[in-house]
Structure 1
Amino acid sequence: MRTPMMRSRTCPDLLAPLLAFLFSSIFAVADPTDRLRAELENAHKASGAPGMAAATFDTKTILAQTQLGVRRADKKGDVEAGDLWHIGSDGKAITATLIARLVESGKLTWNTSLKEIFHDSVGNLHPQAQQITIQQLLSHTAGLPANPPDDLINEAHEAGDRNIRKQRMKIAMDALTKAPLSTPGTTFLYSNTGYIIAGAVIEELLGTTWEKAIAKEVFSPLGIKSAGFGAPSGSQPRGHQLSDDGSRQAVEVGYAGDNPAIYGPAGGMHLSLADWVVFLQDQMLGHQGKGRLLEKESYRKLHQPILNNYAMGWLAGKGGKVLQHDGSNTYWYATVTLHLDTGRGSVAVANDAGPKTGAAMHRAMARALQE
């Protein structure tokens, strides 16, 4: 508002352009795309990552999306808006959502035990492992090791995606014939093994691969078409690793540039930023009873913290009102945050997982979401 003092001390000929400048400056600072771009530039510079992309969104639309840098450090080619990004363990929430659909369809419950799922092999399972429940698998409270043994990982690398169901079942049986590292349900132990076994559960119940099941049950209903498995191929961004001299070296595509295919349910997928946002918007809409994949109570079940502020596929802060997760296969980095009370979220990705990348992206996205 202009006061009498302002009118008496300001030349009328200068007032209009002055106000125009002030208003344009205010809107420039407040513009979400400009803010996001500025913060991502800071993160890009601080991390040294070859390329980055980020988006902020609400339940209806993408508020801002931007990208910068190059697809690979050793060749020309800028990052583009529709590029594909490996999201690592951020995919655990997608696997957990598929499990929730199976719960709703009556194929299992959250308290179904692995004894009930793998009944044909139950004689080989350790007595404590038999009692591990679906909820414990997805909340990292099953007492399972972080990863399968090195010899089985090496064997899986050589096998690629051949006989993938048999490979995952072999991982499951190896883990479940041994005593859990802690009594199931009592301790938080982050476990990729648990999510690989969750994939084997899905395959046992549906008689198909986790890859086909996730495409049919999650991606297709949401209209997600860019999703794939392993590291992106073709002219898409490449993941990078640090060489001894500190430079970034592009890695291979597919499973040659990723963990072996058995890790898919734990974090072995890629997709475009816009398609990832579609899934995340559905997670937020679910709390309003407007999700397309699940009933309202199923979303809330997935997002309710159990131990160590971990829910099922999500780190859940503020009693489940803020969901967060990071993902990396050591060549890529991805981070997501959802504010369920305000219906706003952010994602950021990089084709690098250097020592400064994650922290730089966290700072950038926290600032980009500030009002």
Structure 2
Amino acid sequence: MILNRRQILATATAAVMTAASSARARDMAGFDAALQAAFDGAETPALGGMVVGPDGAIWTGERGVRQAGGATVGSDDLWHLGSNTKAMTAALYGRLVDMGQASWTATLGEALPDMPMDAAWTDMPVKQVMAHRGGLSDATALGQAWLMTARADPASLPDQRRTLATTMLASPPAGTPGTFGYANSNYILIGAIIERITGGSWEDAMRTELFEPLGIKTGGFGAPQGDQPWGHSGGRSIDPSGPVTDNPAALGPAGTAHISLQDYGRFLRVFLSDGAGWLKPETLAVLIQPVGEGQPPYAGGWITPPGQPWAQGVCLTHDGSNTLWYASTWVAPGIGKAFVAVSNDAQRGRPACQALIPGLIQAI
């Protein structure tokens, strides 16, 4: 039989597609096996995982139950991100830079010109605060007294954050400016700056400038409500309708977002595709560039750990928890992949998440 050129091309194309399909099936099987191995070795009620590419989620998987003794988790379920919200807040600020409403060179004095502040803060770069190198300490404004009363505060969330920012900046830095000191206060302050720029709440800015343009339908704040996974403490499920199921809402920019895995992939693809048309490439470059010296190297909501040859370049990572949930994210733009592990029990889920990530990386 003599084949013409069109038949040859069709046969070759079919062979390539078959090989690609087989390779994809092997990848999916490897990811599933990594998830099962991490879940089998843990006591967490549920464990979820995701691998992301430049176009979004490549694979997602989940094991376990929404609550102890309850229904199994599903592919569209919501997971609390904890401090992995910080990368979203930093990226939101970057979005405002691209819109001409904010600046990467701004100081606190310029960003909050009508706020009284100690002279030590006036010339502090906003980027330095974003990198936890401003000298802020949670003890200044987020102490036990605040935690005990914040949930009952009748003031609007922007007013609450402005009050917190005023308290933070009324005194000189509690830490050493330029030296890394992780504190949720840094991102509450960034949230207050975003609110001054937009004239609304950080939550509204997240919805209109991050969730909507990225096609995120499930993004929200606080413990997921309704027929969703519940957070756990020591194996005991915590009803999300109760009074203490998340940090006070005013802490939002530092760590209260929840989201489905697929939608989280829509955010992470921004870091795998030069901003995905949502951020300018030069803004993305700022967000992943560490600020200052010393360890750990920290950029816009991400740690950028050195010594990760598998990533073939810069690597971004962050873990988050509100003490009832756990999330771990690793992003490697050099290989066009991001890896996510989530659990609805912070204490028991942490080791499971930290076991799942390397399993997913090894499976690619």
Question: In which range does the TM-score fall when normalised by the shorter chain?
Answer: 0.7 to 0.9
Aligned length: 333
Once the two structures are overlaid, the 10-residue window that deviates more, 39-48 or 213-222, is 39-48
Contact 1:196-1:263 at 8 Å conserved across structures: yes
2:145 to 137, 151, 170: 151
Amino acid at match of 1:225: K
Contact 1:231-1:254 at 8 Å conserved across structures: no
Structure 1 position 61, deviation (Å): 4.3
Provide Cα deviations, 1:121-153, integer angstroms capped at 9, x if missing partner. Answer: 33xx11112222210121101100135122122
Amino acid at match of 2:172: A
Rounded to whole Å, the distance in 2 between the matches of 1:82 and 1:346 is 17
Q: Is 1:305 matched with 2:300?
A: no
Structure 2, unmatched stretches of 5+, are 1-21, 308-312
Structure 1 position 250, deviation (Å): 2.6
Aligned twin of 2:52 = 57
Provide Cα deviations, 1:53-103, integer angstroms capped at 9, x if missing partner. Answer: 111121124322111100001x42000000000001111111001111222
Note the 1:89-238 alignment, pairs <5 A. 89-122=83-116, 125-146=117-138, 148-159=142-153, 162-184=155-177, 186-238=178-230
2:342 to 339, 349, 362: 349
Q: Is 1:340 matched with 2:325?
A: no
Does the residue aligned with 1:309 lie in a helix, a strand or coil?
coil
1:362 to 351, 354, 358: 354
Amino acid at match of 1:324: T
Aligned twin of 1:274 = 262
**In the superposition, relative to structure 1, how do residues 222 and 155 fare at CA in structure 2: closer, same or farther (>3 Å)?**
same
2:29 to 26, 34, 43: 34
Provide Cα deviations, 1:272-298, integer angstroms capped at 9, x if missing partner. Answer: 000000100112112xxx522211111
Structure 1, unmatched stretches of 5+, are 1-26
1:292 to 260, 264, 277: 277
Q: Provide the aligned C-alpha RMSD in A.
A: 2.1
Amino acid at match of 2:104: W
Rounded to whole Å, the distance in 1 between the matches of 2:149 and 2:230 is 24
Provide Cα deviations, 1:135-185, integer angstroms capped at 9, x if missing partner. Answer: 01211011001351221222212227x51111001110111101102343x
Does the residue aligned with 1:326 lie in a helix, a strand or coil?
strand
Amino acid at match of 2:149: E
Aligned twin of 2:13 = none
Stretches of 4+ moved more than 3 A in 1?
A: 27-30, 253-256
Does the residue aligned with 1:317 lie in a helix, a strand or coil?
coil
Contact 2:287-2:299 at 8 Å conserved across structures: yes
- Larger Rg: 1 or 2? 1
Structure 1 position 29, deviation (Å): 11
**In the superposition, relative to structure 1, how do residues 158 and 350 fare at CA in structure 2: closer, same or farther (>3 Å)?**
same
Query: Scaled by the length of structure 1, what TM-score is found?
Result: 0.84
Contact 1:40-1:361 at 8 Å conserved across structures: no
Amino acid at match of 2:316: L
1:264 to 241, 246, 252: 252
Provide Cα deviations, 1:33-63, integer angstroms capped at 9, x if missing partner. Answer: 2222222222223331101111112112432
Contact 1:241-1:250 at 8 Å conserved across structures: yes
Contact 2:49-2:356 at 8 Å conserved across structures: no
Provide Cα deviations, 1:245-303, integer angstroms capped at 9, x if missing partner. Answer: xx4333434873100001110010101000000100112112xxx52221111101100
Rounded to whole Å, the distance in 1 between the matches of 2:242 and 2:94 is 28
Structure 1 position 30, deviation (Å): 7.0
Once the two structures are overlaid, the 10-residue window that deviates more, 218-227 or 107-116, is 107-116
Query: Scaled by the length of structure 2, what TM-score is found?
Result: 0.86
Rounded to whole Å, the distance in 2 between the matches of 1:322 and 1:57 is 14
Does the residue aligned with 1:347 lie in a helix, a strand or coil?
strand
Structure 1 position 234, deviation (Å): 0.5
Structure 1 position 119, deviation (Å): 1.9
